[in-house]
Structure 1
Amino acid sequence: MIDHWRDAPDAARSAPAPFGRDAVVAHVAELAVSSDAAPLVLVTGPIGMGRSSLLAAVRAELTARGFTPLSLRVARNERDRPYSLASRLCAEIAALRSGDARRTARATAVVSLGEAGRQLAAELRSALTVNDKLTVLIDDAHWADPASRAVLLSLTRALAGGPVTVVCTVRPSPADPASERAVLEQLRAASLAEVVPLRPLGEQEVAALIAHTLQARPTAALLSSLQRECRGRPAAVLAAVAGHLRTGGLQVYDRHVYLTSPDRPPELPLDLPPIEYLRRLGGTVWAVAKAAAVMLPLGTAATGLIARAVGRDEEEVRGALSELSVEGVLRQETEDGRWRFRLPLLASALTGCLGPWERRSLARLAVTAIWAGDAVADDRYLADQLVVAGRSVDARRAAGELLARGTAAMLDDGYCAERWLRAAAELATEPRQRARVLVAHATTCCLQLRFAEAIDSAGKVLSEYAEDHVDSATLLEIQLAYVVALAGTLDTAALTELCDGGWRSLPGRQWHRVVTRCIALCHLDRWREADEHLALLRHVWHRDDDVFAGLGLLVSECTGAYMGRFEPFEQAVADPTDWPLWASGPRFRFERLWQLARVLMAFGEQERADRLLAAHDPPSAYRTLPDQVVADSQSGHWDRALDTARLGLATGLSVGYAPSHTLVSRETSVILGARGRLTEARAVIERARSVQPVMLHLLAVAESCLDEALGDVEGALDVVARGLALAADRGLVVGTDVLWLRSAGLELARGDRAAARRAVAETGRTAELTGTGRARLCHLLATATVEGDRAAAAEAIGLARQRAQPLELADTLTLAVRHEVADSGLLHEAYALYGGLDALLRRAQLRNLMRARGVTVPHRAVVTAENERLLATLVTEGLTNRELAAALGSSEKSVESRLGRLFKRTGYRSRVELASAMLTDDYRA
């Protein structure tokens, strides 16, 4: 089979060789020109391994060394023409001897080959002058006819010790004659033949290939998907990447590329060479290959169903499957006899070749067989076939099964659940069933942050089914989903209209309207109004109905906590089971636990959130993207947090539940700032303000750190003051503990001790109000630094150790030593913590403090490398020399000297070259 997949990005096609193969190219080229090497070199590997491209790279390498290799490529139709390759090779050699410049690789001279091997050897030797070296490159030698292959093996012995080397690419096949394999083994044993197998690419090699192709680093999720579908075959990887680009399934953000829908297959073109090749194999084989792409998951029943689908008897189908095995497309498992595709991506490509009627007919056969008990498959396969079969099967039964499977998968497999439920809505005709499906679909889309789809389904329920076909509890659920979806699509105009009067005309009873309006107010950042509205009408929603009482209570607890009314929230955390809806189903328990955990994380209580979840075992391990970012950031898994945050910011998946986007933006900007990515950190903050402006005061600490890093203390203080004013205006307490701590430190830095003491008092008030560990830590630190209280500093350090948040602990230790209320030896611990986070800028700033306190900075070579990497990062961020000096705590003259040394060592001639290298990961560390 042809092993090139043409449909790859141009950048990939122009690459000199598959990534990770440079050493193999060099090795084969060396064998081709070495006088001591074996005369026959076989480059082997399955389809998609890049044999042909590697041979092209070898040819280019030999040409660059001054050699002129003789190149031939064997076509599939030559395997039935005796001595075809041998004849062509003789014609090429004859032309080489006569100096005929008009010879072509498609010469068809017919020669008499009695002792073909010796004759060819004589022709080759006579074509050479003394000290000449000739390399013959033969691509796809597995298509050579048996006689020509025998000639090549015979030729190998005749060329031993001579100046000719034959390099062939070969795809091994179980159909290769045993006698031929035995001869090859004898040649290998005699050092007359060498086999160079091409191994599948490892994960790092696939990452390098994608980075070269897209000029962006692939994420772990994308790499995992490609490894699963492509089995490390470079041609398949490139085809899959191109297919995902075609569907919009890849998004690039901050020089990283993300797979936005991991379960969505790439859209592969119908003219891929492997597909074209299978099509040319003949009617039965081609028909069986397409049907197999759908039917093979049905195991032992697949052969019979394929036979029915293609109108052939089972014996013919078995023959076609065996031929596909010989071609390297399928393999048969020894333990259960099932057929499987060697390359899963090829199954997707073949499915795409089916017309709508073909695909529907195959799906109908599969569904009917499963329903009749004649075949067995997993729920996911059945649901996928039900979606395709549509109304060609029992539509009511199909809709019911899709509803059940979609509802069960809404947390753990959101992409498939959304697809199944959307299909169920199209199949359902009875109004009550259709309403149930649309509600489930809207809820699933909200849980998976797919808000545009949620609005569509929720809107249909509210406009078509709300009065007659939806019960009271479901109506409230769909109204809340609609509000959250409006927020997720940034439709503030619709939310504002709903809050300022439109809520009174919502369908349902008064308690529906009260809870719905409250949620809408929260998403508009009108927290005080939301809290007052809910409290004023408590007598309406807090009735005997568990759904209204439960949801109203949850909203009241969480909103109250944000505003500093902590007692009800603390009671809920202490016993989340004391809630009207706890026993009403896993989805309600999931929502209860994660809302409480989300509020705890917003207050910096990651350890308590983890304990809450561990103690009550949520019914699903699913976490929304914002929750993952906050949890990973606070627990010190910064690379993972940043990777997830970039995905959310690239795709909009961080927008939705208030204040999700702000929290993601805060954590992202903190990480970027600590790593020296100051401009990018500020861009994240600015984007948060424009996209979903909810609880924006939470960004003030990160933004003030950026100003302070560049030496603007007044600007940093102004940012903090504006953040505190905004929180006060909204009636919010969440996040003000760290703002007051920042205020105390900045006021002290500019010499206003009275203002610093007022800030200390506010940290105490906030700690008393909320009782959280972070608020208490902030009060202890503020007291220690402003009042010089060593006891408070020691207590703060102990508390920070208990809380086990690496950045928080490192900052606590640094702050205590900087203000001389703790021993300088603690800086070693802070330095190691910053190192574990790869916080380059924080490490550099701490080194200045360590030198000032007489603390030895360890690992001088590491320090030099870090300083250079940080300097390159800051240059890439576009900082001026003055800003560089402020960030690094040095003079402009020192910065100029350091830049000069960096340019000299790396060879870059300008800031532009240096920045370009950093952006493309080509920086010479």
Structure 2
Amino acid sequence: MIDNWREAPGADRSAQAPFGRDAVVAHVVDLAVSSDSAPLVLVTGPIGMGRSSLLSAVRDELAARGFTPLSLRVARNERDRPYSLVSRLSAELAVLHRGGEARRTAKAAAPLAEAGRQLAAELRSALTAGDKLTVLIDDAHWTDPGSRAVLLSLVRTLAGGPVTIVCTVRPSSADPAGDRVALEQLRAASLAEVVPLRPLREREVGALIAWRLQARPTAALLAYLQRECRGRPAAVLAALAGHQRTGGLYVFDRHVYLTSPDRPPELPVDLPPIEYLRRLGGLVWPVAKAAAVLLPLGGAAAGLIAEAVNRGEEEVRGALSELCTEGVLRQGPEEGHWRFRLPLLTSALTGCLGPYERRRLAQLAVTAIWAGQAGADDRYLAEQLVVAGRFVDTQRAAGELLARGTAAMLDDGYSAERWLRAAVELITEPRQRARALIAHAATCCVHLRFTEAVDSARRVLSEHGRRVGSEALFETGMIYVVALAGTLDTAALAEFCDGGWRSLPGGEPHRVLIRCVALCHLDRWREADEHLASQRHVWQRDNDVVAALGLLIGECVGAFLGRTGPFDRAVADPPGWPLWASGTQYRFERLWQLVRTLMAFGELDRADRLLTAYELPSTYRTVPDQVVADSQSGRWDRALDLARMGLATGLSIGYVPSHTLVSRETSVILGARGRLTEARSVIERARSVQPVMLHLLAVPESLLDEALGDVERARRVLAEGLAQAAERGLVVGTDVLWLRTAELELARGDLSAAQRCVAETRGTAELIGTGRARVCHLLATAMVHRDRAAAAEAVRLARRRAQPLELATTMAMAVRHDVAGAELLPEAYALYGDLDALLRRAQLRNLMRERGVAVPHRGVVIAENERLLATLVTEGLTNRELAAVLGGSEKSVESRLGRLFKRTGYRSRVELASAMLTDEYHP
């Protein structure tokens, strides 16, 4: 049947459970076995609601309770065979009656009441005393009129008896009025009950996805599925499977993302609804396929479909009306307009078209639009132009695709990339093709389709170097390098840096800057700085754009290496840049780079002041920068949402050091909340995806090791991070590394090593002069030299910087090392609470008890402890690891787990973890 998407690959009946279908099954079964319920139960619902699978679940549950239901399924062709269902039912009853022969009970000439009484008698004779019989009839809406009338008459004779008939029905406006009246009379007499299956609400769709993929869907994914699937669970499952085939779904940190929302799912051509439409015969199948492409053309669609299938328009209208009767189409508000009830079915039908068939339909659509015979939006026309290819006027098609692709390159990357690629294939004029290739490369780079960006940029540089202007060549070279880094092909990037850059078309100044950027993407910062400085006489004398970009690159790279003077002057006076007055684009570029570099140094306050001074909203920040800003300012939930999206879709890849910064902040948040395994996976992924400035990850990784009791590994991670930074000449981020190392050296009793760390924090603070570096130096001095004044100054400075995690950690460290009073602990505890930092709160509670500070709200503490324990269990920690994290023994962990399972009702770690993943756990 058309509604039986449940049988699609990857779907199963048990998928009903997450959205309450178990309750519906139980209700129907109770009606079927109850002696005082209505003898007729109708399970109704629109296409895709899984009526058939629900009836199967009812049958299985009845069998589990010891009943043997009689099951029938009505085929579509039975609606034209008089008394077909009654005859089949009579035959089944005869077999059930231990070898009895089927009687010809229902004939056209027999009075309906008599036929009903005869069939009732057969039903009763098929039962032994005290038995209960349930008759399950699937797709009862295909029942022929005679059988339907007999069954409605039969119901009146079954009242109070041992027989219940359960039917699945797809309601339709074409149902005979007399049947509707008869059913209402039966309902009024309590002889029939209707159990409707309604489309799922968004929350229920979310539960279904979470159960199926063991990951929570994003709001964007939910909105897309609601729009395409109209709450039909089977359609939702088909869409999920289709997007999984195309690689369009990505699960990260237990959240599932649709990475290309404009890319249709790859639905198999043998889906049951498609097979059903094929079997309808006649004109319905070719009309349905053509309608999937041409219906958006409104009133012109029927005529164009008729031309496509080579039949008369009235015949086509008849086929469209039949598709309406089948529940596939819906008549629009205007005469002659139709639309698919399930938008997803459009993708499925389009996938059934052959290459020539699809191009021919696109040709019809484009020709009609160009001739003014039909209207459609720009997106529809562009898509048909892509498919039609050379079936239409190529020069006009190429021009429109280039214009529409260029206009959409920032907002609709998937479509813009398709349109521009198609334009490139249609254009024959070399200069225009080069222009299209550059636009295609830029679009792909912006939207992280790096492989395609590399291919197009390489074609421009190798084939069209003499046909494009100097600035276009420079832009293309930059795109090539960034995209090459985005493909993670470090060998190719290294080959480019070590000699390949010299063969780039364009001027020497271009090549110098492009190589410098490439070296940064290879984490060769010192070499990039030296190359830029040694060739300053080359790039500084070029045009304003090259000279200004060279200056900006030098300021930021120099800052990372600890040469912060030029950078600080740039922050103090952004308009002093040569391109500042040349346009908004250049001003944004300058501010964007300065703000990002400040964020890498932890200078949120300075970055905010810079944006405010030039009246730019915080939303100006790119997603990676916003993650860092939200994390440092304490908006952790939003930071985590953005970080998941950015890391899942690769938004931070290609722009150094964004990916590492986002990974650092994400791992800090996850670790503080007890998500230790996920935090480590973020760190490991950062190493493999874009290994740049990896020393920035050493602090969060060392905190994970220390939480799990491996202090030696924590020290080793910090030492490796400092060695990496020294090898590359990097100073950024080393302030917190030296502070953490000082703390661990002090903990193991090596005072001399700790004092060397204090000296390093002093040198770093004097070199870069940032607020964070000063806090690190003051705190290290306070801990190692027992300097209470330094501790007080560190707390004061941290307050002014207004970063909640930094302030809470500063206060906690000062108290732990007895250089500040315990009165700071309640404030730190509250700050951790605002961040929902479960693990940090639990660790601080231990310190508060040691210092005799009362922990407020016992009920909250108990709930937090349980939630932390459940989180750690979900992370897959062993009892030994749990004991290390929680600061107890394995035996105490076993006791706590036992109490948690007893209180919540979960019987195992697996059940508890599943409940956490699907948001069903509520402490």
Instruction: Provide the TM-score with structure 2 as the length reference.
Output: 0.90
Which residue in 1 is equivalent to 2:85?
85
Look up the match of 1:667: 665
Contact kept? 2:598, 2:606, Cα under 8 Å: yes
CA distance in 2, matches of 1:622, 1:322: 51
Note the alpha carbon deviations across 1:345-383, whole angstroms, 9 max, x for none. Answer: 100011111111121122122222333333332222222
Q: Which residue, 517, 540, 543 being the options, matches 1:542?
A: 540
Three-state SS of the structure 2 residue aligned to 1:168 is strand
1:726 maps to 2:699: no
What letter matches 1:510 in structure 2?
Answer: E
Query: Residues of 2 paired with 1:628 and 1:40: CA distance?
Result: 59
Amino acid of the structure 2 residue aligned with 1:477:
E
Higher mean Cα deviation, 83-92 or 698-707? 83-92
Alignment CA distance shift 1:742-1:678 (3 Å) = same
For 1:411, the equivalent position in structure 2 comes to: 410
Contact 1:7 1:239 in 2 (8 A): no
Q: 1:648 to 1:279 in 2, by over 3 A?
A: same
- The answer for the alignment partner of 2:36 in structure 1 is 36
In the TM superposition, 1:231-310 aligns within 5 A as 231-252=230-251, 256-310=255-309
Matched letter for residue 654 of structure 2: G
Corresponding residue for residue 687 of structure 2: 689
Relative distance call for 1:583 and 1:2 in structure 2 (3 A) is farther
**Residues 779 and 10 (structure 1 numbering): CA distance in 2 closer, same or farther, change over 3 Å?**
same
Between 1:344-353 and 1:585-594, the stretch displaced more is 585-594
Provide the rounded CA distance (Å) in 2 between the counterparts of 1:93 and 1:797.
86
Find the counterpart in structure 1 of residue 502 from structure 2.
504
Distance 1:617 1:187, change over 3 A: farther
Q: 1:372 to 1:830 in 2, by over 3 A?
A: farther
Question: Per-residue displacement from partner, 1:152-204 (whole Å, max 9, x unpaired)?
Answer: 33233332333322211111111112332233223323332221111222344
Map Cα deviations across residues 470-525 of structure 1 (whole Å, 9 max, x no partner): 11111111111111122222222332233233333322111111111111111121
Q: Distance in 2 between matches of 1:349 and 1:589?
A: 47
Distance 1:102 1:571 in 2: 101
Q: Tell whether 2:471 aligns with 1:454.
A: no
The letter for the 1-side match of 2:687 is: R
Can you list the C-alpha shifts for 1:428-476, whole angstroms capped at 9, x where unaligned? 111111111111122222222222111111111111111x211111111
Deviates more, 1:856-865 or 1:902-911: 902-911
The amino acid that maps onto 1:401 is E
* Partner residue, 2:342: 343
Q: Deviations over 1:732-782 (max 9, x none)?
A: 232123223323433443445665566456545545554544445444544
Shift in CA distance, 802/310, structure 1 to aligned 2, threshold 3 Å: farther
Q: What's the CA shift string for 1:94-153, capped at 9, x where partnerless?
A: 443x3239989xx99868641233333343344444433222211111111223222333
Letter of the aligned partner of 1:290 in structure 2? K
Among 542, 552, 555, the residue aligned to 2:553: 555
Offset from partner CA, 1:584-611 (integer Å, 9 cap, x none): 7776566445433432332234566567
Counterpart mapping for 1:109-148 below 5 A: 113-114=110-111, 115=113, 116-148=115-147
Gaps of 5+ in 1: none
**Paired residue for 1:486?**
484
Q: What is the one-letter code of the residue matched to 1:479?
A: G
- Unaligned 5+ segments in structure 2 are none
Aligned ranges for residues 680-759 of structure 1 at < 5 Å? 680-751=678-749, 756=754, 759=757
Q: How many residues align?
A: 921
Go from structure 1 to structure 2 and tell me whether the alpha carbon gap of 1:691 and 1:273 turns closer, same or farther (over 3 Å shift). closer
Distance 2:117 2:620 in 1: 69
Question: Equivalent residue of 1:62, what SS?
Answer: helix
Q: 1:848 to 1:112 in 2, by over 3 A?
A: farther
User: Taking every aligned residue pair, what percent have the same amino acid on both sides?
Assistant: 79
SS in 1 for 2:885: helix
CA distance in 2: counterparts of 1:263 and 1:2, whole angstroms: 25
C-alpha distance after superposition, 1:637-687 (max 9, x if no partner): 556655665666667665422223322332333233223343453344344
Q: Secondary structure at the match of 1:137?
A: strand
Match for residue 187 of structure 1? 186
Q: Give the corresponding residue for 2:69.
A: 69
**What's the counterpart of residue 161 of structure 2?**
162
For residue 52 of structure 2, what is the amino acid of its counterpart?
A: S
Deviation at 1:572, TM superposition (A): 4.8
Residue correspondence of structure 1 range 827-866 to structure 2 within 5 A: 827-835=825-833, 837-866=835-864
Could you tell me how far apart the structure 1 residues matched to 2:479 and 2:621 are? 18
Distance 1:88 1:610, change over 3 A: farther
* Maintained 8 Å contact 2:18/2:211: no
Q: Distance in 1 between the 2:388 and 2:404 partners?
A: 16
Aligned to 1:47: 47
Q: Distance in 2 between matches of 1:812 and 1:658?
A: 29
Structure 1 residues 83 and 882: CA distance shift in structure 2, 3 A: closer
Further displaced range: 278-287 or 27-36? 278-287
| Matching residue of 1:56 | 56
Other-structure match for 2:527: 529
> Deviation at 1:880?
5.8
- SS at structure 2 position matched to 1:265: coil
Distance 2:299 2:565 in 1: 61
Structure 2 CA distance for partners of 1:124 and 1:293, relative to 1, 3 Å: same
Instruction: Compute the displacement of 1:559 (Å).
Output: 1.6
The secondary structure found in structure 1 opposite 2:42 is: strand
User: Amino acid of the residue matched to residue 551 of structure 1?
Assistant: L
Report the CA distance shift for 1:360/1:627 in structure 2 as closer, same or farther (over 3 A): farther
> Does the CA contact (< 8 Å) of 1:796 and 1:812 recur in 2?
yes
Query: Residues 102 and 635 from structure 1, CA distance in 2 versus in 1: closer, same or farther, beyond 3 angstroms?
Result: farther
1:200-240 CA-to-partner distances (Å, cap 9, x unmatched) read 22344334434444455544444333332212212112222
CA distance in structure 2 between the aligned counterparts of 1:277 and 1:47, rounded to whole angstroms: 13
Q: Tell me the distance in 1 between the aligned counterparts of 2:221 and 2:490.
A: 34
Give 1:869-908 correspondences, 5 Å limit: 869-871=867-869, 873-874=871-872, 883-895=881-893, 897-898=895-896
Q: 1:30 to 1:175 in 2, by over 3 A?
A: same
Residues 711-745 of structure 1: per-residue CA shift (max 9 Å, x gap): 44454344334423432332323212322332343
Shift in Å at residue 67 of structure 1?
1.9
Partner SS for 2:12: helix
**CA–CA distance in 2 between the matches of 1:596 and 1:448?**
23
2:2–2:274 Cα contact (<8 Å) kept: no
Q: Which residue is 2:392 aligned to?
A: 393
TM-score, with structure 1 as normaliser: 0.89
Deviation at 1:75, TM superposition (A): 0.7
Per mean C-alpha deviation after superposition, the further-off stretch among 821-830 and 35-44 is: 821-830
Cα pair 1:411 1:620 within 8 Å, conserved = no
Residue pair 1:581, 1:588 contacting (<8 A) in 2 also: yes
Question: Matched residue of 1:353: which SS?
Answer: coil
Identify the range of structure 1 (349-358 vs 277-286) with the bigger mean alpha-carbon deviation: 277-286
Change (3 A) 1:718 1:275: closer
Structure 2: which amino acid aligns with 1:517? R
| Aligned residue runs from structure 1 range 432-831, under 5 A | 432-466=431-465, 468-543=466-541, 545-570=543-568, 572-573=570-571, 579=577, 591-606=589-604, 609=607, 626-627=624-625, 629-636=627-634, 638=636, 641-642=639-640, 645=643, 654-751=652-749, 756=754, 759-760=757-758, 762-763=760-761, 766-767=764-765, 769-779=767-777, 781-782=779-780, 785=783, 800=798, 805-819=803-817, 824=822, 827-831=825-829
Distance 1:145 1:573 in 2: 81
| Range with greater deviation from structure 2 (584-593 or 650-659) | 584-593
